[in-house]
């Protein structure tokens, strides 16, 4: 397949010679609940992983939690709990929400505070090689020592310097230098290091953990495009300086961000819809279709209507899986649709085009089934392709449980109507329920109900 590489600014042919894809995706800073914008990279890299697995690769997916930084410290202090308690509560909620969106779990979710010795070892190596220096308990990366700094974000040092905020920090040799280790301030959590108690900077944790869990060369490093600079630029500088090997990452893959009222959806701007609220309001398929209906590298504008309308689209796919009453007609050939789908996905994960083929196939199945065509094999293809996009077209198993209290309420109401000899109204309740797929059976023990699809 071809995949756009931010480093070369081109689509390049993707392959992994030994069949294993090492994929590192920058994860969340769990200082508060996840918002829907956080689900975008999760869904994009879930689909990339599913597609690579479909192509026969084994994907090893590692995604970190940044469980210590300024925002974590501040939020934990406000709630009077430890940063660990805060991180673990939000990480558990995040994983639940991603499960609800049918996102495959990463093979490993390292936490920065769980890997402090590895981080310290890497910083120490950078200091020994002259790429970093310590001052008063802090350690900084010496950006000008790195000859190709700026190659990912395509910036040069002079323009960076001109654009840099003039920070009053007499510790740094150069304003471009960035922190690898921050000395402890009063009341902050800290870990021991050769430079005194402190905590790691954000960038170094991803370099250290990707090295620890995936090795010196990654096949794919992913995240939102807002991470290209400085986070990913700094990761390259640290890792390539430490290992003395290039490239650290073969493919840099970045997704566009979710926009709300023309701004990036972000906690700091306060223009968010929480992931939990979205999951309660929309089906997982609708949320996935909303994200996949636009190319992953483009920014995507959130609106309630655009997500809600995807529920009807998901229903059309689901309808195409209804069994045929009569299969005496011709068998439909789903191959051209499958080929188009694969072509689209091979072209830098073009999910809008892949979805168009999927909907074309669904339309063809619905049309031909009504004419008595044998659609069984085509339905299998539909299921297979929908699975690559992480859509679940089977009726959710929990559906009976979800509606149970409401059906019970109507069943009881009907019994009361019958006792009051309001038979016309009682029959209307029964018939209307039947129209919604719920049938009632009156027996000696009272009335039992079931869903037709059960």
Look at residue 162 and give its three-state secondary structure.
Answer: helix
Rg from Cα positions in the chain? 27
| Minimal distance, residue 26 CB to Zn ion, in Å | 3
Q: Alpha-carbon distance 239 to 388, whole Å?
A: 33
Question: Residue 152, interface with Zn ion (CB under 5 A)?
Answer: no
For Zn ion, the closer of residues 220 and 389 by Cβ is 220
Please say whether the beta carbons of 157 and 121 come within 8 A.
Answer: no
| Minimal distance, residue 105 CB to Zn ion, in Å | 18
Please say whether the beta carbons of 360 and 334 come within 8 A.
Answer: no
| Minimal distance, residue 50 CB to Zn ion, in Å | 22
Provide the pairing of β-strand 218-224 with 198-200.
Answer: unpaired
Per CB under 5 A, which region of 24-32, 185-193, 266-274, 334-342 contacts Zn ion? 24-32
Residues in CB range of 425: below 8 A, 6 or more apart: 417
For Zn ion, the closer of residues 206 and 287 by Cβ is 206
Question: Residue 206, interface with Zn ion (CB under 5 A)?
Answer: yes
Distance of CA 335 to the CA centre of its chain: 30
Binding-site size, Zn ion (CB under 5 A): 2
For Zn ion, the closer of residues 75 and 206 by Cβ is 206
Per CB under 5 A, which region of 22-30, 330-338, 352-360, 406-414 contacts Zn ion? 22-30
For Zn ion, the closer of residues 26 and 59 by Cβ is 26
| Minimal distance, residue 206 CB to Zn ion, in Å | 3
Please say whether the beta carbons of 179 and 140 come within 8 A.
Answer: yes
Using CB under 5 A as the binding rule, the residues of this chain from 371 to 430 that contact Zn ion are: none
Q: Alpha-carbon distance 19 to 52, whole Å?
A: 10
For Zn ion, the closer of residues 206 and 344 by Cβ is 206
Residues in CB range of 264: below 8 A, 6 or more apart: 37, 226, 257, 258
Question: Residue 47, interface with Zn ion (CB under 5 A)?
Answer: no
Distance of CA 280 to the CA centre of its chain: 18
Binder of Zn ion out of 26, 139, 253, 292 (CB under 5 A): 26
Q: Which residue ranges make up the site for Zn ion (CB under 5 A)?
A: 26, 206
């Amino acid at each position: 397949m071809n995949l756009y590489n931010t480093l070369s600014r081109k689509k390049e042919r993707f392959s992994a010679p030994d069949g294993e894809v090492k994929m590192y995706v920058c994860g969340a800073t769990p200082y508060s609940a996840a918002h829907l914008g956080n689900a975008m990279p999760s869904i994009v890299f879930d689909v990339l992983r599913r597609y690579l697995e479909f192509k026969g690769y084994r994907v090893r997916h590692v995604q970190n939690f940044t469980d210590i930084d300024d925002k974590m410290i501040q939020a934990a202090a406000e709630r009077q709990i430890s940063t660990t308690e805060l991180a673990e509560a939000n990480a558990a909620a995040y994983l639940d929400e991603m499960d609800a969106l049918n996102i495959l779990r990463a093979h490993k979710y390292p936490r920065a505070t769980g890997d402090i010795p590895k981080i310290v070892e890497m910083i120490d190596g950078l200091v020994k090689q002259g790429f970093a220096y310590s001052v008063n308990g802090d350690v900084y990366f010496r950006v000008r020592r790195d000859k190709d700094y700026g190659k990912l974000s395509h910036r040069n040092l002079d323009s960076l310097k001109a654009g840099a905020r003039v920070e009053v920090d007499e510790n740094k040799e150069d304003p471009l230098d960035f922190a690898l280790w921050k000395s402890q301030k009063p009341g902050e959590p800290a870990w021991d290091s050769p430079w005194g108690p402190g905590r790691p900077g954000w960038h170094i944790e991803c370099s250290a953990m990707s090295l620890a869990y995936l090795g010196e060369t990654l096949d794919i490093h992913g995240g939102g495009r807002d991470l290209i600079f400085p986070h990913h630029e700094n990761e390259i500088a640290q890792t390539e300086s430490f290992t003395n090997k290039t490239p650290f990452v073969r493919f840099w893959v970045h997704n566009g961000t979710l926009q709300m009222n023309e701004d990036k959806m972000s906690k700091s701007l306060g223009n968010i819809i929480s992931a939990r609220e979205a999951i309660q309001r929309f089906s997982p398929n609708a949320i996935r279709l909303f994200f996949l209906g636009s190319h992953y590298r483009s920014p995507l504008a959130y609106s309630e209507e655009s997500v809600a309308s995807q529920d009807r689209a998901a229903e059309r796919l689901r309808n195409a899986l209804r069994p045929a009453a009569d299969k005496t007609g011709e068998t439909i050939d789903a191959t051209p649709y499958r080929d188009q789908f694969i072509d689209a996905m091979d072209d830098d994960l073009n999910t809008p085009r892949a979805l168009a083929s999927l909907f074309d196939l669904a339309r063809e199945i619905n049309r031909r089934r009504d004419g008595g065509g044998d659609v069984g094999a085509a339905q299998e293809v539909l299921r297979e392709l929908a699975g690559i996009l992480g859509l679940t077209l089977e009726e959710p198993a929990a559906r009976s449980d979800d509606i149970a209290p409401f059906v019970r309420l109507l069943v009881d109401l009907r019994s009361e109507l019958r006792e009051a000899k309001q038979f016309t109204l009682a029959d209307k309740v029964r018939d209307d329920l039947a129209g919604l797929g719920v049938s009632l059976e009156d027996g000696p023990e009272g009335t039992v109900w079931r869903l037709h699809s059960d």
